[in-house]
Structure 1
Amino acid sequence: MYEDSNQILSLDNPRELVKPRIQVYSRTTCRREIKMRVRILPLSCLIFLATTVHAALPTCLTENDSAQFPSKTDHLNLYSSEQAFTVSLLDAINKATPSENIFFSPYSTFHALLLAYFGSSQETEASLKNALRINWAQNKMQVMHAYRHEKQLRARAAKNSSIEFNSADKIYVSKETELRDCMKNVFNEELETKDFLQAPEESRNDINKWVEGVTRGHIKDILVPGTITQLTKLVLANAAYFKGSWSNKFNPDNTRKDVFYSSPDKQTFVDMMYKKGTFNHGLNERLGAHVLELPYEGEDPRMSMIIFLPPFDVNGVENVLSKLTPESLEQALNEGMPREIEIKLPKFSFEKSVEFRPVLERIGVGNIFEPSANFSGFSEKQNLNLDDAIHKAKIEVDEEGSTAAAATVLFSFRSSRPLEPAQFFCDHPFLFLIYDVQSRAILFAGIYRGPEK
């Protein structure tokens, strides 16, 4: 089932402010652990740490919040923004960590930065608005309505879903930080005061325990000693957890040792899973890749693993990324047709940590990490800026759980379709998404380039 620790705005009262999601901001490290086994267990946490340099109001997010009414299409615009953000972030991470496996949660990263956006002003606000691809919005309140509507839809879906997705946010504020009263009300559930000045290590341990709880014990010690100091004033934290089983599981008896081609001159034996069945499959000539959808179990599957399989080439994945846009992604996700497919997927697990500050700066978040950052939306009496952001993720895949796929060497790119059954052999690097089909949200994304030592 889906769980969401945040309160949601009632559609019956569009003026009632509710609590959104957050991620940690300060000099903290951000770690995401994600586990996929018999069930896919993606876990994610993004933490930003900030230091200081120095009853809900109607003018909290805009000059007149009460005059802003939600639109029926705003949440769709938010989904489109998240897809565009995902494409940009995936490309930036790939350039920062070339030739490595990648796994991260664009969903939690996007929502964490949304929280920063709600508290930003002037140049900082403009940069975040561009980075988040939310220029369609006239003001923050319009984004807030869309954000809450998305959360409400997800909460409704949780009631009847066999898939578990839990995402939670926290705003940890030092006792000395004077927050605006309206922000205390808007984020009342997420806000928690910490004595960073007198008890930085105790505060760090408390945050780690919260993350560990949200991720069912899979992410531990997100913040290492020294990341929370007496100078810490604000921590925005988001943690996400996902667990799902394949609707059509792999038979362990069919798993065999097989070769995975990481590159033309590097091959490794892996445990390769095998199954044959009917799945949505498409050949996307625009991206130059075959696309396969593997749904998670449920009467009406809402979540799927989407695998992009380029031809075997030194730059196969990079070529796909260079052509990946929100439009080409949407086309690839929509054009699959049911057909009988023979599938080979490697069993794998890996853990990745990414220093997110340079990655986020690459996609244009502006001065959020500089002393010149303006987060006066949070506090008008103290100047807050973010210091760092580090992301950690872990994924495990086996016969019964969510799987990351690779591509086949034998694919040719022509419009005609091969004879049934088609072969989708993931024996070289591939790109994958964990995708919410109903909401069109990309929860997790990654690139698998082979087993790591």
Structure 2
Amino acid sequence: MTETSPSAPTPTRSALSDGAAVVDALTVGLLADLAGPDDADHAGDLVLSPFSVAAALGMALAGASGGTEREMARVLGDLPPERIHAGLAAVTTHLAGLAGPVVLADGTDDEVALSPANAVYAQAGLPWQRAFLDLLDSAYSVEPHAADFRGAPEQARGEINHWVAQRTADRIPELVPAGAVDADTRLVLVNALHLKAPWATQFEEAHTRPGRFTTAEGREVEVPMMRSVGAASGHAEVDGARVVRLPYATGRLAMTVVLPPEGEEAALRRRLGERGWRAYAGAEVAGEVDLTMPRWEARTQAELGDALARLGMASAFSGEDADFSAMTPEDRLAIAAVVHEGWVAVGEAGTEAAAATAVMMRLAGAVVRVEREEVVLDRPFAWCVHDVEHGVPVFVGWVADPSE
């Protein structure tokens, strides 16, 4: 696999800004769609990597033309395609550069792992446009794989899932479900991402106690509640919500958690869908915090095709209107599905998270669709793992019931 390495060129600030804008735009759009109406059916836990989805869609954009290219570009920040590709390449390099050895507050050595990776599985024997392949290589550092979707689609599905599992430390064992690829599949574009980061100041396990958490449905559940007087670097108030920043050991990554006023959880989800995480992840925090928060683990599996079509790239999924002629001159292709899976585990030592996204391309005719503040996270809250310098949302979500 060709991955971004520490020796990769340092991305320019303008390219990083473009890449952050691409991921921000997709974050806003997807959260707006996933927030849904104010009812309990849309109040479950969520784990989403906007970066992973953006990277996979960026690779598909590399093969789009005409109206399909214009629609996809609008969804991805409304920038010229060349700036989208350069921006996503810069963000990928930047995120990979955040990994490495660290020294914890107690003097012990540890490591931050953050490894984005891309792959393409293409039907063997089909002529692919050289410019398309060159762009995948130069901007996305893809590992190319030949696949036999026509003759052995299930074997190809197994190979894709094996690659994803390897790249996510087995946290995403089966991204592509049975039936998602078949003899009409011609191309699958895949992004995988794995994060494992210790807190700058870890929670003491001895301080973890059972505590009550009121779920989005109003039930009280008992969960392990972690408590720390040093893990958070500060707090702020935005739109009446409590914002707390928890830095990871590098100082260049952080988790921001947002606890809305009681009864305003749905309103917070709507605001995140209107402007994303920038107002919260970029908030100036100060003061000391006594933080109590649940230990939790969550997983989200989603097909994002309908959401992306509603955001404005419907032609990419249309058997009649899709234009991916920049991929291959032989078969007319359209996106059949965009599958995404996210997983996160948050505990006393830090955070581990993984995500993967696959864009399935099929024959177009076959497509189907300051003073010490005490903050207790004992009811639904939102969270985001982001880089500190640019505020790129790497993982986002909300916690509705940490007992599940």
TM-score range for the pair, normalised by the shorter chain length: 0.7 to 0.9
Structure-2 change in CA distance of 1:187 and 1:295 (3 Å):
same
- Report the residue type matching 1:367 in the other structure: S
Q: Which residue of structure 1 aligns with residue 237 of structure 2? A: 283
SS, match of residue 386 in structure 2: strand
Structure with a larger share of its residues in helix:
2
Which position in structure 1 is the counterpart of 2:254? 304
Name the CA distance, whole Å, in 1 between partners of 2:329 and 2:7: 26
Report the Cα distance in structure 2 between the residues aligned to 1:164 and 1:276, rounded to whole angstroms: 26
Q: Which residue identity does 2:42 align to in structure 1?
A: P
1:396 CA displacement: 1.9
* Gap change, CA 1:312 and 1:117, over 3 Å in 2: same
8 Å CA contact 1:197, 1:231 repeated in 2: yes
Residues 400 and 375 (structure 1), Cα distance of their counterparts in 2 relative to 1, 3 Å cut? same
Partners of 1:293 and 1:403 lie apart in 2 by 17
CA displacement 1:86-132 (0-9 Å, x = unmatched): 12212212218612111111110011111111211111111111111
Aligned to 1:55: none
The amino acid that maps onto 2:259 is L
Offset at residue 6 of structure 1 (A): 4.8
Corresponding residue for residue 142 of structure 1: 83
Give the drift of 1:165: 0.8
Alignment partner of 1:338 is 2:286:
yes
1:154 Cα offset (Å): 3.9
Find 2:75's aligned residue among 121, 131, 150: 131
Confirm whether residue 211 of structure 1 aligns to residue 152 of structure 2: no
Match of 1:250 among 177, 200, 203: 203
RMSD of the alignment, in Å?
Answer: 2.7
Which of 112-121 and 394-403 deviates more?
Answer: 394-403
* Residue 268 (structure 1) shift: 1.2
Residue equivalent to 2:56? 112
d(CA) in 1 for partners of 2:52, 2:240: 29
Structure 2: gaps of 5 or more residues? 103-110, 354-369
Bigger relative contact order (CA 8 A; separation at least 6): 1
Q: Secondary structure of 2:126's match?
A: coil
Q: Which runs of 5+ in 1 are unaligned?
A: 13-69, 405-416
TM-score of the two chains, using structure 1 as the length reference: 0.75
CA–CA distance in structure 2, aligned partners of residues 328 and 226 of structure 1: 33
2:273 and 2:152 map into 1 onto residues whose CA distance is 46
Residue aligned with 1:337, SS: coil
User: How big is the shift at 1:4?
Assistant: 7.1
Q: State the identity %.
A: 24
Work out whether residues 78 and 134 of structure 1, in 8 Å CA contact, stay in contact via their aligned partners in 2: no
What is the CA distance between 1:75 and its match in structure 2?
A: 2.5
Alpha-carbon distance change, 230 to 244 in structure 1, aligned in 2, over 3 angstroms: same
Match of 1:181 in 2: 130
Counting only pairs closer than 5 Å after superposition, residues 30-429 of structure 1 correspond to structure 2 as 73-95=14-36, 98-135=42-79, 137=80, 140-158=81-99, 162-188=111-137, 189-263=142-216, 265-277=218-230, 279-284=233-238, 287-298=239-250, 301-313=251-263, 316-324=264-272, 329-371=277-319, 372-402=321-351, 420-429=371-380
For 1:288, give the aligned amino acid: G
1:9 shift after superposition: 11
Q: Do the aligned partners of 1:4 and 1:166 also contact (CA within 8 Å) in 2?
A: no
What code does the residue aligned with 1:115 have? M
Cα distance in 1 between the residues matched to 2:332 and 2:324: 7
* 8 Å contact kept, 2:27–2:276: no
Q: TM-score under structure 2 normalisation? A: 0.84
1:9 & 1:183 partners in 2: Cα distance? 25
Could you say which residue in structure 2 is the equivalent of 1:65? none
Amino acid at match of 2:237: L
Q: Residues 260 and 159 from structure 1, CA distance in 2 versus in 1: closer, same or farther, beyond 3 angstroms?
A: closer
CA positional deviation for 1:250: 1.0
Instruction: Show CA shifts across 1:121-167 (max 9, x none).
Output: 111111111111133x3xx3333333333334445444566321111
Work out the number of aligned pairs and report it. 371
Please give the alpha-carbon distance, in whole angstroms, between the structure 1 residues aligned to 2:326 and 2:36: 33
1:94–1:102 CA contact under 8 A, matched in 2: no
- Aligned-pair CA distance for 1:310: 0.4
Q: CA deviation at 1:172?
A: 0.9
